[in-house]
Structure 1
Amino acid sequence: MFNKILIANRGEIACRVAATCKRLGIVSVAVYSDADANAKHVAACDEAVHIGGSTAAESYLRIERIIEAAKKTGAQAVHPGYGFLSENEDFAHACEAAGIVFIGPPVSAIAAMGSKAAAKALMHAAAVPLVPGYHGDDQEPQLLQREADTIGYPVLLKASAGGGGKGMRVVEKSADFAAALASCKREAASSFGNDRVLIEKYLTRPRHVEVQVFADQHGGAVYLFDRDCSVQRRHQKVLEEAPAPGLSAELRREMGEAAVAAARAVEYVGAGTVEFIMTGDAFYFMEMNTRLQVEHPVTEMVTGQDLVEWQLRVAAGEPLPLKQDQLKLDGHAIEARIYAENPARGFLPSTGALKHLRMPEGVEFTIGETTRAPVRIDSGVREGDTITPFYDPMIAKLIVHGADRDEALARMNRALRACEVVGPHTNVEFLQRIVTSEPFATADLDTGLIERHHDALFAPAQKPFKEAVALACAALMTREGGVAHGASPWDALSHWRLNGSYRQKIEWRDTETDSAFAATYVRDGALRSLEYAGASEPFKWQAGEGAHEFRATIGDSRVKGRVFIDGDVFHVFCQGAALAFEWKNLLAHAADTEHGEGRLTAPMPGKVIAVLVEPGAVVEKGAPLIVMEAMKMEHTIGAPAAGKVAEVLYAVGDQVTDGAQLLVMEVE
């Protein structure tokens, strides 16, 4: 076994690998960029080496700097995590040339599976079922258009060297193909340095089911069962679970054996994932990821195995820890990816400081029985850290385990209700809606679930408004020196009156709806009430035992919750909901009228990669105007209404900040 390894990654996967190293007594070395100088993964490792600027291109993608760091620290091996250089054959080759073990498959296997088109050809030769499509070398646009027309629409464009949902476009009709191809190629070139694409028939209502495989250097190969990763947005996974619901034992075995056969076909070594697309009981090979997957924790939870330890042992030349007949499934596990993003704005990534971060009670990964703990948290950030525009905006992976799927679902719902994040927008509420929705609860899964149930998943939320207002008022009066019900009046004197009643009008603004309202706290002797929304109800409250905790009774409702105060904004977490109220000693925020004024602003920090119009152009509503890139994803800014472009304020290559005005339009 190795004595020291370097982890060529960041965030939660670097923390995850470091945890196994610590348990096994292996010294871990972190690498970090300027933006990550104080990151959690740096603190989690025994040593750390600075490798460059804040962008991935300046740091985590610099092969020579990582090899130099490994040599400098005496690391015997490099664990690439996932993303970045994990499936880069040049990096694996550079490690080999430097005499450093690459904890992953051989260069030849990465090369064989790194190109989706080449992988499809290999699987075709091995008689693995494939979705109809074009995987050829000729990338001439007119030829690609003809191939798509022949396959029949809708078709799916995919970056040949891609992964993670980047460089993918669904094209519904022939007239849209050219624009989609150009966009797909730009994103592929930016993300992977390769703009080649392949075309596949787009299957309607398919499931995405993948199989975890492992192979050693002695000819051993096994599958550690399957995962369903069908719930996706922007072709990126949101919820994953193991085992995949609804598979018969025979189908599960058949898919597992097919995955092992695929691995053997390329003389695979290490951890890999063979991804299938399914319709009914029919499954088709999509691709093989030659690395550990983001969703590997659900497999660990249902098998009780530490997959990172397996990786280290296999890379050190040891045989697989278990044979196929020794691997058993135990219960059900679900993983939710908590992202800093705004689902209401097309899941745009959100940036900013994590002013308050509280996850449900759980364990960070160690080993043994903790792999089956009811709740597990894998995270690469802490309260006070900043979500930057440079990397993936994941906050944490929330993983739950249950005796069966129903129990796991109940635990996931409860765990999500306990999440508290103040700072950037998150998808926590959206995840709650999915896991409690009928299609997910009944395992009616397919990759279009979010789109098909869009109206229900994005409907206005019903929240415990009255109870949250009561808790906010309680927190405000505590901050301003008020007296909790039952406390001594001498503890605070700000609201004390001799022989008289007391009325305090509190003006609030609901930050979600931007609506103003007022609540009036009334104390008349021993009687206390809160007047709000046209009614007066008895009101009493007290601070809880823990930080930010409050209990209140408003009318006949008793509520407990937590209030985090950020300046004059009161973030209330109660009954599984999150609300925020601004105390109106601050100026109310102006309503967003930018579209009505013909102003178009950047939805997030990023770089302008295409300007599609010139000043004077007359455009229709929805016409694409500017294309931005942020976090390796493209975002097209469309015209909010028909009108004339008066001025373009940025050029291709310019960096823009969140909210920066991009164009001026004269709206009809």
Structure 2
Amino acid sequence: MISSVLVANRGEIACRVFRTCRELGIRTVALHSDPDADALHVREADLAVRLPGATPADTYLRADLVVKAALDAGADAVHPGYGFLSENAGFARAVTDAGLVWIGPPPEAIEAMASKTRAKELMGVAPLGEVTESDLPVLVKAAAGGGGRGMRVVRELADLEGEVTAARAEALAAFGDGEVFVEPYVEGGRHVEVQVLADTHGTVWVLGTRDCSLQRRHQKVIEEAPAPGLASGVTAHLYEAAERACRATGYVGAGTVEFLVTDGGAAHFLEMNTRLQVEHPVTEAVFGIDLVALQLRIAEGEALADEPPAPHGHAVEARLYAEDPAAAFAPQTGVLHRLRVPDARRATAQGHC
């Protein structure tokens, strides 16, 4: 049984995992760089371990330091959260080689799917090679990681080389991996993803769809479950493809298979994120489950029920983004002083829903 979990991450996802651990009576361990010493996730954990340094490359992306911190803190399991090392097969192996429980998919599944190029090959989709005018517009995309980083839309062939260089630099800084690839950019397609959960006994749960089409700078803004307005045949196809991806890789744990769906209902495989997603709470709300708790159970070797719970209702998640209007609305950090959420019942009565 898992008794102590180190979360190899920071911020919201660390707090989210700690919440479930507290409910289950599991001791929690946080990591922090020097600038994050007083961050909320540090204050919420039972124990915090300092990673000397200020940049992610010197702290949260150092697999050797993270594993050492887990051992020094007496943790018996590591939850990677999302971002940083969450889709790094080498890190997963380092965790298990150290005798710790890895709360995530097997390294082999991460290797098969965490690289977007290899994932597309596995699903029968090939990235573009030599790009010509007839291929435009195209999307330059980081092979590792996610969250919109390392992505560029290119509409002019003359811009391609510069955008590839910029995407490589951004991906290397964010994920420690500068590999990028180029694929067709589907104009106006809906971004629809499928939540999956698999155990070590061969059971795969397909937990509905989420629509994440409303985005800004390739960052999701609104996410809702289930994805509205999908024809039953399209949904069935997405479910089948998502389950096939899991079984083809021997997948274990929580993951998300992402697609672009055209107005005509054609589905284009984008990638599989071999980790928990930021938008996982909308699936939890619709299915009445705790995905983090299920991750922990699966890591302990427990079996899922043959079928997942039945979904009920609809859930929407909105993300808050801070931007500086004086700097061309560039992303910026800052303090949130007030959040006003209108009363849903009054808004509905006034026709403002």
Normalising by the residue count of structure 1, what TM-score does the alignment of the two structures yield? 0.50
Cα distance between partner residues in 1 of 2:333 and 2:241? 42
Structure 2 residue 136 is the aligned partner of structure 1 residue 153: yes
Structure 2 residue 5 is the aligned partner of structure 1 residue 5: yes
Question: What is the aligned partner in structure 2 of residue 176 from structure 1?
Answer: 159
Cα 1:176/1:107, change in 2 over 3 Å: same
Cα distance between partner residues in 1 of 2:167 and 2:55? 22
Report the structure, 1 or 2, having the larger strand content.
Answer: 1
Cα distance between partner residues in 1 of 2:3 and 2:236? 37
Check conservation: 1:276, 1:284, Cα contact below 8 A: yes
Report SS of the residue matched to 2:12: helix
Structure 2 residue 309 is the aligned partner of structure 1 residue 327: yes
Question: What is the aligned partner in structure 1 of residue 21 from structure 2?
Answer: 21
Tell me by how many angstroms 1:343 deviates.
Answer: 6.0
**CA offsets per residue over residues 498-548 of structure 1, 9 Å max, x none?**
xxxxxxxxxxxxxxxxxxxxxxxxxxxxxxxxxxxxxxxxxxxxxxxxxxx
Tell me by how many angstroms 1:219 deviates.
Answer: 0.7
Tell me by how many angstroms 1:342 deviates.
Answer: 3.2
Tell me by how many angstroms 1:256 deviates.
Answer: 1.4
Check conservation: 1:271, 1:290, Cα contact below 8 A: yes
Cα distance between partner residues in 1 of 2:21 and 2:278? 18
Question: What is the aligned partner in structure 1 of residue 242 from structure 2?
Answer: 259
Computing the radius of gyration from Cα coordinates, the structure with the larger value is 1
Tell me by how many angstroms 1:202 deviates.
Answer: 1.3
Superposition map of 1:298-309 within 5 A: 298-309=282-293
Cα distance between partner residues in 2 of 1:319 and 1:65? 32
Question: What is the aligned partner in structure 2 of residue 340 from structure 1?
Answer: 322
Report the structure, 1 or 2, having the larger helix content.
Answer: 2
Check conservation: 2:57, 2:176, Cα contact below 8 A: no
Check conservation: 1:85, 1:91, Cα contact below 8 A: yes
- Could you tell me which of 170, 174, 183 is aligned with 1:200? 183
- Could you tell me which of 244, 248, 252 is aligned with 2:227? 244
Cα 1:358/1:60, change in 2 over 3 Å: same
Between 147-156 and 343-352, report the one with greater CA deviation: 343-352
Structure 2 residue 39 is the aligned partner of structure 1 residue 56: no
Structure 2 residue 118 is the aligned partner of structure 1 residue 118: yes
Cα 1:2/1:180, change in 2 over 3 Å: same
Superposition map of 1:13-162 within 5 A: 13-124=13-124, 130=125, 133-134=127-128, 147-149=130-132, 152-162=135-145
Cα 1:194/1:6, change in 2 over 3 Å: closer
Tell me by how many angstroms 1:119 deviates.
Answer: 0.8
Aligned length: 350
Superposition map of 1:565-644 within 5 A: none
Cα 1:38/1:195, change in 2 over 3 Å: closer
Provide structure 1 residue ranges, at least 5 long, that are not aligned to the other structure: 125-129, 135-143, 362-373, 375-406, 415-435, 442-668
Question: What is the aligned partner in structure 2 of residue 166 from structure 1?
Answer: 149
Question: What is the aligned partner in structure 2 of residue 621 from structure 1?
Answer: none
- Could you tell me which of 263, 266, 279 is aligned with 2:262? 279
**CA offsets per residue over residues 390-419 of structure 1, 9 Å max, x none?**
xxxxxxxxxxxxxxxxx79x68xx9xxxxx
Tell me by how many angstroms 1:71 deviates.
Answer: 0.8
Check conservation: 2:120, 2:127, Cα contact below 8 A: no
Q: Structure 2: which amino acid aligns with 1:307? A: L
Check conservation: 1:151, 1:201, Cα contact below 8 A: no
Structure 2 residue 210 is the aligned partner of structure 1 residue 227: yes
Tell me by how many angstroms 1:253 deviates.
Answer: 2.7
Check conservation: 1:133, 1:151, Cα contact below 8 A: no
Cα distance between partner residues in 2 of 1:258 and 1:360? 38
Report SS of the residue matched to 2:319: strand
Cα distance between partner residues in 1 of 2:120 and 2:88? 18
Report SS of the residue matched to 2:86: coil
Cα distance between partner residues in 2 of 1:88 and 1:346? 34
Report SS of the residue matched to 2:213: strand
Tell me by how many angstroms 1:360 deviates.
Answer: 4.8
Cα distance between partner residues in 1 of 2:278 and 2:92? 20
Question: What is the aligned partner in structure 2 of residue 351 from structure 1?
Answer: 333
Tell me by how many angstroms 1:225 deviates.
Answer: 0.4
Cα distance between partner residues in 2 of 1:38 and 1:359? 26
Report SS of the residue matched to 1:48: strand
Tell me by how many angstroms 1:358 deviates.
Answer: 4.8
Cα 1:151/1:103, change in 2 over 3 Å: farther
Check conservation: 2:113, 2:273, Cα contact below 8 A: yes
Superposition map of 1:460-609 within 5 A: none
Cα distance between partner residues in 2 of 1:150 and 1:269? 41
Normalising by the residue count of structure 2, what TM-score does the alignment of the two structures yield? 0.92
Q: State the identity as a percent.
A: 54
Question: What is the aligned partner in structure 2 of residue 571 from structure 1?
Answer: none
Return the structure number with greater relative CO, CA threshold 8 A, min gap 6.
2
Q: Structure 1: which amino acid aligns with 2:11? A: G
Between 341-350 and 212-221, report the one with greater CA deviation: 341-350
Tell me by how many angstroms 1:153 deviates.
Answer: 1.0
